[in-house]
């Protein structure tokens, strides 16, 4: 064999190995998004299970706040439906409504001293607040995974393999500014 044949064969092998490395890293990124979403989904389901307990506890004390309690339960159902469909955009919107409803509920609870003193309410409030913090952290991790994936599938030469094998961009999980802002407690009591 000639030297030119060895060089050509070496280039072909190097290109093949480089392609395999790129493909495997794209697969790793894709599964990173799936894993990050699964982590959020677990927390959403835990919070989903806790919300009816909170609303039931509040119903015993907040007889005049039925609209707020119903808003929380409607938002809970919307979050669950969007999560089951994997619809990230709808989930973000439903999360905004749920966060606003929970903020209103916790703010209104301030007007009910017996409710605030109830051990079950305090436990559920702390549990849900902790889950909210965990969801926020997991959302950050999920969005970072999506961002890494989206950048890689747009970079050359990765985009060639990404298009060839059908790798798709992920959708960021975003909440509106209204959904992450603090609730105006004064406005709720006026």
Question: Residue 129: which CATH number?
Answer: 1.20.1440.20
Predicted pLDDT at 176? 66
Domain boundaries, position 181: 3-188
The pair of structure tokens assigned to 11 is 């280039």
Predicted pLDDT at 65? 79
Predicted pLDDT at 110? 83
Angle (nearest 5°) at CA 35 between 46 and 83? 45
Number of domains composing the chain: 1
Those residues with Cβ within 8 angstroms of residue 29's Cβ, 6 or more apart along the chain or in another chain:
145, 148, 149, 152
Predicted pLDDT at 118? 86
Model confidence, pTM: 0.77
Please choose, from the candidates 152, 170, 171, 172, the residue with its C-alpha nearest in 3D space to the C-alpha of residue 162.
152
Question: pLDDT by residue for the chain (190 residues), tens digit each?
Answer: 688 888 999 999 999 999 999 999 999 999 999 999 999 999 999 999 999 999 888 888 787 778 888 889 999 999 999 888 888 888 988 988 898 888 888 888 888 888 888 888 889 999 999 999 999 999 999 999 999 999 999 999 999 999 999 999 999 998 765 544 444 434 433 3
């Amino acid at each position: 064999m000639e030297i030119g044949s060895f060089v050509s064969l070496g280039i072909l092998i190097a290109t093949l190995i480089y392609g395999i490395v790129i493909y495997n890293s794209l697969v790793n990124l894709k599964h990173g998004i799936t894993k990050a979403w699964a982590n959020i989904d677990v927390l959403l389901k835990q919070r989903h299970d806790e919300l009816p307990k909170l609303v039931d506890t509040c119903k015993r004390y907040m007889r005049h706040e039925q609209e707020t309690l119903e808003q929380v339960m409607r938002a809970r159902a919307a979050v669950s439906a969007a999560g089951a469909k994997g619809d990230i955009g709808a989930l973000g919107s439903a999360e905004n409504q749920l966060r606003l409803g929970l903020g209103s509920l916790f703010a209104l609870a301030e007007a009910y001293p017996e409710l605030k003193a109830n051990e079950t309410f305090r436990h559920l409030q702390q549990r849900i607040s902790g889950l909210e913090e965990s969801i926020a952290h997991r959302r950050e991790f999920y969005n970072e995974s999506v961002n890494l994936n989206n950048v890689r599938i747009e970079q050359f030469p990765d985009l060639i393999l990404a298009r060839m094998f059908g790798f798709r961009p992920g959708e960021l999980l975003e909440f509106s500014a209204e959904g992450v802002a603090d609730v105006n407690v004064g406005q709720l009591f006026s």
